[in-house]
């Protein structure tokens, strides 16, 4: 087996610094659209970073600014400490794997992987060696003479990865790289991408709208909304400690409670009393709190933890667990809060009463968004 190319070792210095980058454009009817609004972001070297958000949030625009396919209308992009203003994509230390791969159907696997090296006029002997090494990396050794039309979707994606990595970029950009794959293959490729990034030690920057994909692959997740960064952190921080209602609702399922803080509890508009961590209590003002479904459990008769009483409104069997929608309190003729619980084992049927328990430490108060 040939050794992998000498990629830079992971480090703490950001490989990409986005400094107050903005991007605006005019629609055909003359409207001005702000795709990005003064976004600042440090992308660490040697780590897997994901831009996560819904369609139109600005994540692909940001990726294109970093890759050199668009120029910012404000701010700047620095890669490896150098301002990228006016530097085209093919002269940047980046390479991109697009959603539909962009492979040349008339070329073989080797021809596709070698294309960029041939354009750069690399000697033929070195091209052969580097193509073989790149195909080894993506677990396609011996496939050099295959035609692209003879490959599966997963194999085509691996060829696209090899073509990008053979040029030895300092950061690999991935634009919805698994959107065209079925669910089973997506799972496999998530594992493969993370393995590849770990083995090579270069920065990967991936764009996706799939929360599970982002959480499973990433060292750093950057959640975007309406052209801005809502929150960034490790996958666990994003999931367990959402800061805004948008992040709480976009990343996983969540139960939301709106009301006011009274002492050490949240009194909701519908009449539910929810104990919270007193240290997190803000001054008396309208607040929103959230609670993840798996943080709730069926209460035991001798339970000493806080309780929520309600009625099962809906139940969905998921194989390893059951998802319940529970209407809290007595909702006859009035408002009630609804909570989502994910329970293992037997649970009450639809229409039956249920008592759930939770820890006040798991109730998260969300930052107010004006």
Asked whether residue 1 is assigned to any structural domain, the reply reads no
309-330 mean pLDDT: 91
Which strands sit side by side in the sheet containing 48-52, from one edge to the other? 94-97, 171-175, 203-208, 48-52, 220-225, 228-233
Last residue of a domain, one of 245, 276, 293: 245
User: Is the pLDDT reported for residue 18 higher than 50?
Assistant: yes
Asked whether residue 144 is assigned to any structural domain, the reply reads yes
The domain that holds 317 is classified in CATH as: 2.40.50.140
Asked whether residue 6 is assigned to any structural domain, the reply reads no
Asked whether residue 295 is assigned to any structural domain, the reply reads yes
User: Within this chain, do residues 138 and 270 fall inside the same structural domain, yes or no?
Assistant: no
User: Within this chain, do residues 309 and 163 fall inside the same structural domain, yes or no?
Assistant: no
Asked whether residue 4 is assigned to any structural domain, the reply reads no
Mean pLDDT of all residues in the chain?
88
User: Within this chain, do residues 212 and 313 fall inside the same structural domain, yes or no?
Assistant: no
User: Within this chain, do residues 53 and 101 fall inside the same structural domain, yes or no?
Assistant: yes
One-character DSSP codes across 265-304: EEEETTS-EEE--GGG--SSSEEEEEE-GGG-EEPPTT--
Last residue of a domain, one of 189, 215, 245: 245
pLDDT tens per residue, range 53-80: 999 999 999 999 999 999 999 999 999 9
The domain that holds 95 is classified in CATH as: 3.40.50.300
pLDDT of amino acid 139: 87
Last residue of a domain, one of 224, 245, 266: 245
Asked whether residue 5 is assigned to any structural domain, the reply reads no
User: Within this chain, do residues 180 and 217 fall inside the same structural domain, yes or no?
Assistant: yes
Asked whether residue 252 is assigned to any structural domain, the reply reads no
Number of domains in the chain: 2
Q: Which residues pair with 78 in a beta bridge?
A: 17, 83
Please tell me the distance from the alpha carbon of residue 369 to that of residue 366, in angstroms, as a whole number: 9
Could you list the residue range(s) of the whole structural domain that residue 181 is in? 14-245
* Range of 156-170, 222-236, 278-292 with top mean pLDDT: 222-236
């Amino acid at each position: 087996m040939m050794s992998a190319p000498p990629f830079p070792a992971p480090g703490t210095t950001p490989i990409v610094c986005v400094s107050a980058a903005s991007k605006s454009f005019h629609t055909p009817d003359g409207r001005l659209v702000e795709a990005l609004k003064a976004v600042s972001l440090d992308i660490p070297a040697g780590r897997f970073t994901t831009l996560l958000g819904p369609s139109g949030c600005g994540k692909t625009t940001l990726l294109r600014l970093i890759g050199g396919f668009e120029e910012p209308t404000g701010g700047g992009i620095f890669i490896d400490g150098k301002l990228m203003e006016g530097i085209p994509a093919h002269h940047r230390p980046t390479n991109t794997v697009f959603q539909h791969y962009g492979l040349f159907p008339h070329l073989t696997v080797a021809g596709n992987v070698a294309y960029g090296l041939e354009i750069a006029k690399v000697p033929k002997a070195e091209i052969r060696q580097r193509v073989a090494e790149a195909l080894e990396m993506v677990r396609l050794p011996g496939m050099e003479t295959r035609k692209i039309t003879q490959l599966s979707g997963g194999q085509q994606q691996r060829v696209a990865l090899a073509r990008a990595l053979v040029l030895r970029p300092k950061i690999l950009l991935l634009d919805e790289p698994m959107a065209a794959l079925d669910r089973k293959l997506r799972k496999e490729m998530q594992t493969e991408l993370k393995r590849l990034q770990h083995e090579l030690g270069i920065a990967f920057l991936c764009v996706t709208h799939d929360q599970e994909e982002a959480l499973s692959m990433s060292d750093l997740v950057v959640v975007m909304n309406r052209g801005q960064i809502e929150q960034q952190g490790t996958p666990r921080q994003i999931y367990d400690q959402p800061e805004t209602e948008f992040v709480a609702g976009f990343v996983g399922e969540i139960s939301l409670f709106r009301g006011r803080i009274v002492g050490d509890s949240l009194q909701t508009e519908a009449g539910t009393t929810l104990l919270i961590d007193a240290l997190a209590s803000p001054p008396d003002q309208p607040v929103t709190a959230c609670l993840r479904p798996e943080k709730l459990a069926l209460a035991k008769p001798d339970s000493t933890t806080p309780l929520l009483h309600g009625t099962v409104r809906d139940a969905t069997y998921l194989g390893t667990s059951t998802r319940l929608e529970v209407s809290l309190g007595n909702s006859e003729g009035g408002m009630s809060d609804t909570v989502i619980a994910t329970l293992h084992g037997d649970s009450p049927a639809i229409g039956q009463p249920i008592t759930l328990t939770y820890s006040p430490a798991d109730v998260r108060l969300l930052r107010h968004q004006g």
